[in-house]
Structures are given as structure tokens and as C-alpha cells.
Amino acid sequence: MNGAKKKGLSRVALYYRVSTDKQDLISQKTAVEAWIGALPEGSKPTSIKVYQDEGISGTTTRRPQFQQMMKDAYSGSIDTIIVYRLDRFSRQATTAIKLLLDLDEVGVAFISVTQPVLNLGHENPFRRTMLAAFAEIAEIERETIVTRVKAGLEAAKKKGVRLGPPVKVGDEVRRQVIDLRGEGKSIRDIGSCLNLSVGTVHKILKEEENSVSSS
């Protein structure tokens, strides 16, 4: 990761995410402004831009002001994002970690004023260690997802589910499915015999049943 080497704050983004409760917004702003006000005079931001989303869940990143802030971060317009709490930024832990790592790649720091352990400001001597830990967590999550997907595919194959795009079935194959069913073959046996998925066989038989009942 190639985070910026610059120390201190410069071009800062303040991000607030609130419900319809105005008191929540006031408490966030009060805490963030107090944190900035307590900084040594030479460490205060040279510019501040405020981004605010209202009535949008923190479980999604599809928030207009959030997306604009991230766009500005990636373009180099800001160098630090400050929030009241991490859950204002994102309620999804794995999403938050990925975003923090992405921000670090473009040299943007992150600070949660009520959670000192999440102070990833450029001046934090433990910043690199914390980001390395986040990267390890993200990798574990990726490996877990891959393992789950592989397990799901294997389970689907064992159940006779055909993976990939739907198979086109001609009239001859349909007739064979119906004939085999008439001989008392199970759906799974028919699928194995004709190299069809259980779902495809079931669909053909269901269509045949509907056709007979409507005639």
C-alpha cells in the first residue's frame, strides 16, 4: 500500500450520516467540531468540506454524498476523512475495511473522533500496522467467500444441479424424458440417462403435465 507520507491534516472531509433525527446530526457535528477545535494550532485543517446523507442506511454505499466524497478522495481533492463513528461511514465491517484499504492506496487517511483505536491519521505511528491487520482480515474474508462458493458448487453438483447457462432441449429429448418417466424411472435417473439436470427434467415433466391437463 502506498499511503501518503505527509503528516498532519490539510484538505479534510467531514462525513455525517443521519436518520431523520436532527439531534443525531447535532451530536455528531458537536463531537467532530470539538475534536478539530482541540487540535494544536499548527495541526488544524487548512480546508474543510462537509458531506452529509440523511435517511439512508449505512449498510449500503449507494449514498449520494458518500459517493461524491469517495470520488473526491480518489481524485486527490481531500487527504483525510473524519467521521463521528465508523458506523456513520459504513455499518458493514468488511465493507468498511475494504474502503479504508482503498483510501490508503490513494493516500487518504481516516479518523473516527470517538474511536481512538480507529485513528488512521497520517501522523499515527501505528497506522501501517493497523492497515496491515485490516489487509489480513480482508484476505481471510476473501478466502472464506471462495471456500463457501466452492462448497456450494460441489453440493449443487452432487444434487444433480447443472451449472452454467440453461440447456436447450429438443422435441426428441422431451419425448425420451416422458417415455422414461412412463416406464417408472425417477427424475434423477432420467437426468443421468439423458445428461440433463434434475431441474430440467422436472420442468419438462411439469410442462407435459400442464399440456395434458389443459387439452
pLDDT band at 184 (very low <50, low <70, confident <90, very high): confident
pLDDT at position 33:
94
Please state, in angstroms and as integers, the Cα–Cα distance from residue 137 to each residue in 3, 78, 97, 126, following that order.
19, 26, 8, 17
Residue 3's pLDDT is 41
**Strand ranges inside the chain, DSSP E:** 11-18, 47-54, 80-83, 109-112
Does the structural domain 11-141 have CATH classification 3.40.50.1390? yes
Asked, colleague to colleague, whether 11-141 and 153-215 share their fold, the answer is no
Q: How confident is the model at residue 158 (pLDDT cuts 50, 70, 90)?
A: confident
Strands laid side by side in the 109-112 sheet: 47-54, 11-18, 80-83, 109-112
Cα 82 versus chain centre, distance: 21
This prediction has a pTM of 0.60
4: confidence class by pLDDT, cuts 50, 70, 90: very low
Would you list the domain boundaries of the chain?
11-141, 153-215
3-state secondary structure of 45: coil
Query: Contact 51/80 with Cβ under 8 angstroms?
Result: no
Tens-digit pLDDT profile for residues 64-90:
999 999 999 999 999 999 999 888 998
Q: Reply yes or no on domain 153-215 having CATH 1.10.10.
A: yes
The pLDDT tens digits of the residues spanning 197-214 come to 888 888 888 888 777 666
